[in-house]
Chains A and B, each alone.
Chain A
Amino acid sequence: MLGDLLFRLRAFFRAESMDAGLDEELQFHLDRQLEKYIQAGHSPEEARRRVRLDFGGATQITEECRQARGTHALEALRQDLRYGFRTLRKNSGFSCVALLTLALAIGANTAIFSVVYSALLRPLPYADPDHLIVLNETHPRIGTISVSYPNFLDWRAQNHVFSGMAVMASVGHNLSGIAQPETISGQAVSSNFLSLIGVHPLFGRDFDPSEDKPGATPAVMLTYPLWQSHFAGRQDVIGRSVSLDGRGFTIIAVLPPNFRTTEAVSVLEPLGVWLTNNNGPIERANRLDTGALGRLAGGITLERARAEMVGIAARLAEAYPEANDQFGIALQPIRELFVGDIRSTILVLFIAVMFVLLIACANVANLFLMRAAGRTREIALRVAIGATGGRIIQQMLVESFIVAGFGGILGLALAFAGMRAMTSLIPAAAMSANGAGVNGAVLLFALGATALSAIAFGLAPAMQSVRTGAHSRLTESGKSSTGGVRQNRKRTMLVVAELALSVILLTGAGLMVKSVSRLMAVDPGFRTDHLLRLNMGLTSSQYPDNTAVRAFWRRLLDEVRALPAVESAALGTHVPLTNSHGRSDITVEGMPLPAPGSFPHPDDHSVSPGYLRTLGVRLLRGRDFTDADSETAPKVALVNARLARGLFPGQDPVGKRFFNGRPDPARKPVWITIVGVVDDTRMYGLANPSRLEIYFPLAQATPDEMDLIVRSRIHPAALTSSIRAVTASIDRNQPISAVSTMNELVQNSVGNRRVTLILLGVFSALALVLAGIGIYGVISYSVAQRTREIGIRMALGAGRQDVIRMILVQGARIASAGLIIGIVAAFGLTRYLEKLLFSVSPTDAPTFAMVALVLALVALLACYIPARRTLRVDPMTALRYE
């Protein structure tokens, strides 16, 4: 079998020399036979005649030998390829259009697929990832939130559905002792974390159960990227010490390159170290930045696990009402965590880009159909000299595969370029460790898309040409035959489909444009221009008490305010749109005491004087903080309008008092007086409603991590280096992180929608152009076909306007069919966009009307150009046409 194949292949690739050999062999035979006849006494002429008779057709023998060698099919393919290349080169205009159309569509598809693959399909780097479940707590007023550490311990002790459970706490460190100090993030994890997810360190040791207890020796695992960037990938880092927050941590391991955990981290450290440094986790009511991960035990379904865990959470809520009132539990497979809300975006884009490919195929099919119509005679000739239907189809398909193949290669190149642009648009967290890129799966997809499109646009024209080829006679021009009419109908249907798909894409893009423009028009409650935000965390070892921390903040503010081009500067704990927040319960003086889980739970901020002015938040009532609101002055606070409306309906909140936390007989409440009301801000993104907010003066609540906000007279990013210099002059080891302008934060907060908008916009523009070309092609072809008819009409007295109108009516009929089908389909499909829309209904009538208008205009233009061509028709020439 194998030998046979090898022989055939060898024969195929050496066909030239084998043919020459065969000729020589036959010639030898011929000559010997001739000699034989001459020796037998025949005259040379007679001998030659006999030889010819014996021999029969030499070409036939050659052909049969080829067949015997088994190279016949390959030979035919080679001929078709050669012939295909030749015809395509001859029609270079046709080939270029077809090739470019496909390249764009395949390129766009491949680029989007690479994102789909890395975000949705690529296997996670864990052992049996489908059984890894992320657990969070939930609260009806807040939604999903972090896990209380004591609750986690109870979950782990009481459940029978997980074979193992690990806890991960987010930590941030100042990494110093290097050229420029910087902030890195990490996770403190229980010692079973790596074995639970099935990951082994690249080298070094795993955590030990003894490291789960408070008092553990500071140790750290480096992620691969940090090891490469800061330790030059040196093997001897194990056992070395690295300075985090001014403390020495021993490096015990390096994690593998594809390692990823539930958030972006640079280091892992033992849970015990985190417990040592924090009193917080001991308190059941504290929900720090902590998550839990469980591996489903054998045979346990997610539903079963959920049922049991909900029961445990309910028991805990009952047992510890102060901490757990109304708190529930949420379970989700770990993949969902990574994909998050980007799934719908990606799927919408993937469907959109598939539409583009379909439109492109329809267009190319149309081109092929049109060309097949012009080749009727050629096909008829080939049928006449004995080509079978299958052979003709094969040859046509070979041509479409050539076009698709080159389109695919060019498309892949385009995809390379497009992927770089796209990964910068799409949040990196959704991607696997290596991000989107070209890999085996993506190449396979490109190949599949190429092959399928070749068949999609090649098969119908191929079959068509066999039918017409078989029916038309050589003498006939084939242009006015009924086959032509049927072909016209097929082409018209393809164009109608293209237009319908374009309508769907345009509608989606239109809805997104409207959503994003409405979103950007939302008043965020603060000024977004000329504003820079930086984050700084002071480490406890260098700033042991509030006095030291306050001194640092005060000096920083003074020096930054003194910089040229700085209009104002201030400090605040939680700048809007940064996803940073802190919340706690409050008790308002005189209010009826609610259940433990129903106390007002506002966002709280600690801000320096000038914060509101720098951020541009409007003061609605009362006064702003001043330097007089010092540590020793009476405790004061500002509240936002929403809190004022919610907690003091119909009253003036200024002068009212509250205290932090819930009533506790063991503690004397510290009363805080409300001195003013400020406007609401969109803390959590422009699309999300504002929450209750309280502001405290920095002097009366001094945190060691703050955002510095600076309003500048120049482009805010230009201030970064001078602020770094100022900070270094105060403390050489103090890192600055999360530097961004407020405009960037706004852009990020609309990120998903913006990506969808841009890509849908690009795709629908592409679709519109292709559909325009499609309708243009059909109309101009039909004009060319009807030249004679038009000539007759004009000779009989029809005006030029009448002729143009006739052509335009034909176009309008096609366009309106596409439009109607498209609008009906879009009406049903746009609801899948709903999640991404903002204050626009998926069936927004003005958008639909606009799309219809745009498409009608494009169609009109595409028909008008060929229609005008009829003006140049000279009746006499037209009548003599052909």
Chain B
Amino acid sequence: MLPVEANRETMSRIDLPQGTLDLLILCTLSLEPQHGWGISERVQQMSSEVLCIQQGSLYPALHRLERRGLIRARWGASENNRRARYYELTKAGRKQLETETGLWKQLTVAVNQVLGEA
């Protein structure tokens, strides 16, 4: 069903492992408050176009994080002067980001060691 080009495009990208989306969102927001589209753009840029966040998972994730009190949202004016919903880290979110980053580094080091030995 899907057009071939689209297939080719997605092939070059990596599906996000479970749980990393939250980490990426928190990390992006730790720089500055950002709206949803901005977050996905920023992740895509910073990962040199490798990571691509599907809108279908981005917005539910944002609402989930908001419910957990890690981020909060407010309406603001965008770069082109439109009303946009900006998200920013809360105190709890900043703490969560530190913990998760630590855990992620431990995980990658461990996985790399295993892979390196293999």
Contact = CB atoms under 8 A, between A and B. Distances in A.
A475 interface: no
B92 to A, nearest CB: 10
Interface centre among A25, A26, A67 (most CB of B within 10 A): A25
Nearest to A49: B3
Nearest to B36: A29
Contacts of A65: 59-60, 63
Given A28-B35, A65-B59, A8 B78 contact: no
Contacts of A29: 35-37, 40, 55
Interface in B54-83: 54-56, 59-61, 63-64, 66-69, 78, 82-83
Contacts of A7: 66-67, 69
A25 B59 contact: yes
A38 B3 CA distance: 19
B84 A28 contact: yes
A362 B35 CA distance: 58
Contact of A67 (B35, B56, B60, B78): B60
Given A26-B55, A29-B35, A61-B60, 13 more contacts: A3-B69, A25-B35, A25-B36, A28-B37, A29-B55, A31-B82, A36-B41, A53-B6, A55-B56, A60-B56, A61-B55, A65-B59, A69-B63
Interface string B12-46: 00000000000000000000000111001100000
A64 interface: yes
B85 interface: yes
B56 to A, nearest CB: 5
A64 B82 contact: no
Contacts of B37: 28-29, 32-33
A221 B60 CA distance: 73
Contact of B55 (A4, A8, A55): A55
Contacts of B66: 7, 69
Contacts of B67: 4, 7-8, 11, 68-70
Contact of B59 (A4, A22, A36): A22
Contacts of A8: 67
A61 to B, nearest CB: 6
Interface in A21-75: 21-22, 24-26, 28-29, 31-33, 36, 53-57, 60-61, 64-65, 67-70
17 contacts: A7-B66, A7-B69, A11-B67, A25-B35, A25-B59, A26-B55, A28-B82, A28-B84, A29-B35, A29-B37, A29-B55, A33-B37, A53-B6, A55-B55, A56-B55, A61-B55, A65-B59
Interface in A130-187: none
A374 B37 CA distance: 50
Contacts of A24: 83, 85
Contacts of A69: 63-64, 66-67
B55 A68 contact: no
A60 B56 CA distance: 8
Contacts of B35: 25, 28-29
A536 B95 CA distance: 88
B59 A26 contact: yes
Nearest to A55: B55
Contacts of B69: 3-4, 7
A50 to B, nearest CB: 8
B78 A28 contact: yes
A69 B67 CA distance: 6
A64 B56 contact: yes
Contacts of B2: 53
Contacts of A32: 37
B37 to A, nearest CB: 4
A65 B63 CA distance: 6
Given A4-B68, A68-B64, A25 B85 contact: yes
Contacts of B6: 53
Nearest to A11: B67
Interface centre among B6, B37, B68, B83 (most CB of A within 10 A): B37
Nearest to B69: A3
Nearest to B38: A32
A61 B59 contact: yes
Contacts of A22: 59
Contacts of B59: 22, 25-26, 61, 64-65
Nearest to A64: B60
Given A28-B78, A28-B84, A54 B55 contact: yes
Interface string A467-506: 0000000000000000000000000000000000000000
Interface in B78-107: 78, 82-85
9 A-B pairs with least C-beta separation: A68-B63, A68-B60, A68-B64, A64-B60, A32-B37, A29-B37, A25-B85, A65-B63, A56-B56
Nearest to B84: A28
Contacts of A55: 55-56
Given A4-B67, A68-B63, A28 B55 contact: no
A42 to B, nearest CB: 12
A11 to B, nearest CB: 8
A53 B7 CA distance: 11
B82 A68 contact: no
Contacts of A64: 56, 59-60
Nearest to A8: B67
Contacts of B63: 65, 68-69
Contacts of A60: 56
B83 A68 contact: no
Nearest to A50: B6
A25 B66 CA distance: 15
A7 B36 CA distance: 20
Interface centre among A29, A54, A56, A67 (most CB of B within 10 A): A29
Contacts of A21: 85
A878 B54 CA distance: 60
Interface string A59-101: 0110011011110000000000000000000000000000000
A306 B63 CA distance: 72
Nearest to B79: A32
Given A4-B67, A8-B67, A28 B56 contact: no
Nearest to B82: A28
Interface string A654-696: 0000000000000000000000000000000000000000000
Contacts of A25: 35-36, 59, 84-85
A67 B60 CA distance: 8
Interface string A416-448: 000000000000000000000000000000000
